[in-house]
């Protein structure tokens, strides 16, 4: 399948500086650090006239285009420092709260820094496969 680049989606929907397996952290408003893991980075083609659900709104493409959809697992833990988040990532001692959240690239990378990397395990992709099937059937969207 050929991916055509159009201008329906803005450029920031087509760039993501991280890779599957990357462990990321961002500081929240509470000044604590989150921990997440990139599971998938997928180019989704949207043809002219096709609709896509983004954050609960339906958008109909005016031309053939694509966007990146980033699948991440998000941790429940909030750490008092970036070093503590990195230590939890390295030791594997963090707890996953959400096994898979599909997001647009700008949302997935907002404020994130890479603190490590590990292979994505098949078991970690279970939520992705459920979402992917529902997305392809037009039942769900992305954030």
- Tens of pLDDT, residue by residue over 44-102, are 999 999 999 999 999 999 999 999 999 999 999 899 999 999 999 999 999 999 999 99
For the entire predicted model, the pTM comes to 0.92
Adjacent-strand bridge partners of 17:
none
Q: How far apart are CA 131 and CA 60, in angstroms?
A: 20
Residue 78 pLDDT: 93
Judge whether residue 1 has pLDDT over 70: no
Local structure of residue 21 (DSSP, 8 states): T
Parse the chain into domains and list their residue ranges. Answer: 11-136
On the 0-12 / 13-18 / 19+ scale of CB atoms within 10 A, 142 is buried
Kindly indicate the confidence band of residue 5, based on its pLDDT and cuts at 50, 70 and 90.
confident
């Amino acid at each position: 399948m050929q991916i055509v680049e159009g201008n329906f989606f803005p450029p920031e929907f087509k760039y993501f500086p991280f890779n599957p397996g990357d462990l990321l952290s961002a500081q929240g408003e509470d000044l604590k650090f989150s921990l997440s893991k990139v599971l998938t980075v997928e180019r989704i083609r949207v043809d002219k006239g096709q609709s896509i659900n983004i954050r609960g709104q339906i958008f109909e493409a005016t031309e053939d285009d694509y966007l990146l959809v980033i699948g991440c697992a998000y941790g429940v833990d909030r750490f008092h420092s970036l070093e503590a988040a990195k230590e939890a990532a390295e030791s594997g001692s963090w707890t996953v709260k959400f096994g898979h959240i599909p997001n647009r690239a700008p949302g997935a990378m907002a404020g994130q820094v890479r603190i490590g990397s590990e292979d994505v395990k098949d078991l970690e992709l279970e939520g992705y496969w459920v979402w992917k099937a529902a997305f392809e059937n037009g039942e769900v969207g992305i954030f």
